[in-house]
A and B are shown apart, each in its own frame.
Chain A
Amino acid sequence: MNAVSTRKAAGKTWSKETRQSMLGLAMVLPSFAILLLTVIIPIFQSFIMSLTNDSGGYDLSRYAYLFTDKGMRGNILFTLRVTAITCMLVLLVSYSLAIYMRFNQGPVVDLIRRTYMIPLFIPGVIATYGLINLLGNHGWLSRMLEVIGVELPRIIFDEKGIIIANLWFNIPFTTMLLSSALSAIPSSVIESAKDVGVGRLTLFTKFIFPLSYKTFLVAVTFVFMGVIGSFTAPFLIGANSPQMLGVSMQQVFSVFQEREQAAAIAFFSFLLCSVLGAFYIRSMAVEEKDKI
């Protein structure tokens, strides 16, 4: 919004320009205030809190604990692992669905198009209970498989359950993002590529992927942040150890009542996300520069 109003502000006289930029600032101010109160100040407070040690002084002992404690280190690695696997699977499935819907027609495509967004409308808690009922020890799936004499291996209450739940939560939105990116690629671009003699794989790696790369980055960012900070599903169907960072933070906060340590975990998660955020913003900036 800021950029737009400053661009508009290129008026004739200085006073008009000043007036315009004042207006621009006034329009940005409310949203900035909300950002300040709900995000920036709490982060800062958590950071300060996370620096306080047991004896009331300030040091990095809370962070040292994150990496020295065996359980905690396991939690961090577990979280990164689940996040990475989920990101890859979500992108694989969503890209496949989006490409299938973009380049095919017929009843199957219509069915996918009509149904793929349904998970977005089901609250997370309910979906997670659904998964427990479906995949649990004596859930529908195991009962159905019992009939033909197959024993269902343990799916939920470990890594697999969390990943499956996160797939359910993330695939619809990611597919929607990628679908819209693919439909923005003109048919003549794809057809002219085929015309030149490009095969299917090259078509994807040299045309479809580069032309939807920006949206791909947005999707990766969304899925990464969503999964790394996910709570409901890991809390309900995760194992006791290792835990996702969100669950671990909750436990440290309410069960162990160690607010400072919880703040350190929170700040660390924030750092993990900001790494990806920085990468995303940087590549967007490069693209903008290319345009100019």
Chain B
Amino acid sequence: MQLSVRELSKRYKTGDGVSGINIDIQKGELVTLLGPSGCGKTTVLRSIGGFLEPDSGDILIEGRSVIQLPPEKRPTSMVFQSYNLWSHMSVYENLAFGLKIRKKSKAEIRASVDEALKLVRLSGFEKKVPAELSGGQQQRVALARSLLLNPAVLLLDEPFSALDAKLRHEMREELREIQMKTGLTMVFVTHDQEEALSLSDRIIVMNHGRIEQIAQPQQIYDEPASLYVAGFIGKMNFMEGVADGAKIRLGSLALPNVKNLRGRVTAAVRPEDVQLRERTDTEGTLTGKVKQVMILGHYAEVTVELAEFGIIRAFQSKEVVQRLQPGQEVGVSITQMTGFPVDEAKAN
């Protein structure tokens, strides 16, 4: 195991903080800590980096406890959200500084810096100072600086959040590529679920200082472990139904009761799992009225007002949408859903 966090907890004076954090990360994995601001993801990351002293728990890197070590002694390296570079040094000096401290020879430093700059596609930028670089270039240099130290675990604290959307996409791809090439273990903090889904080997969803779910992106999306995860990742419809033996009934619809729930059930339904039909008299459909059709490029989001359940959103192809008019009566069916007991919904 490359990185293990065991029963980590940290409480701030304000009452915020994290508790019961257990994480195991394999060598070469890219794991994302995902959650809304204030959920404690940065607290976990900064504890791993040594910038925060946790109240209790242990952190092991390559099997060795690092909890007592200051940041400069830990085999980790961190890329910060912003103001990463040292403004009084050139790009070359920024990159070479850590190696100089490690007493590497000049030729060795020069070769490593060249290689790192090539990796982040900034060859020839050695003499520039940070103020002359764009935001994306600065973050790339910061990434290179961390890569040069060859850390056992690379920590990234929302490194792309200050960049514009297009650049953010590019940087994601580049980071993924660099990770493939170097095989580095990375822990990435973000509040952007799209970023987490596209980057990660595994995602750790956090809320209120606790871990809600640890799983691969596809699993997080398809089988959210809690109502919170269901609502946080992607778009989701929530409807109230009743568990009836092997079936969960939503009005006239009956869907398989996979989790053997009892009593009232909150059904979480992805918009792409909602089907619309023009005819309303078919057995096994709900009836509703089209409220709005929003074209979102190659697909459209259709809002339907159901007689019994209120608003439901459905993703439809362009072809289907062309035949739909606002105010039109439609039949709605559901192909897949995840059920949660209603009490859990109240607790959240």
Contact = CB atoms under 8 A, between A and B. Distances in A.
B205 interface: no
B88 A211 contact: yes
Interface in A189-209: 189, 191-199, 202, 206-207
Given A197-B72, A210-B88, A192 B101 contact: no
B304 to A, nearest CB: 48
A191 B86 contact: no
A172 to B, nearest CB: 28
B83 A186 contact: yes
A188 interface: yes
Contact of B80 (A191, A202, A207): A191
Interface in A142-190: 186, 188-189
A192 B159 CA distance: 13
Chain A contact residues: over half helix, strand or loop, or mixed?
Answer: helix
Interface string B72-98: 110011101111101110000000011
A257 B236 CA distance: 93
B145 A188 contact: no
Contact of B72 (A186, A189, A199, A206): A199
B83 A195 contact: no
A216 to B, nearest CB: 13
Question: B interface, how many residues as a size bin?
Answer: 20 to 34
B78 A195 contact: yes
B70 to A, nearest CB: 7
A196 B49 contact: no
Nearest to A211: B88
B87 A192 contact: no
A196 B97 contact: yes
Interface of B: 49, 51, 70-73, 76-78, 80-84, 86-88, 97-98, 101-102, 142, 145-146, 149
Interface of A: 186, 188-189, 191-199, 202, 206-207, 210-211
Given A189-B83, A196-B145, 5 more contacts: A188-B84, A193-B86, A196-B149, A197-B73, A198-B97
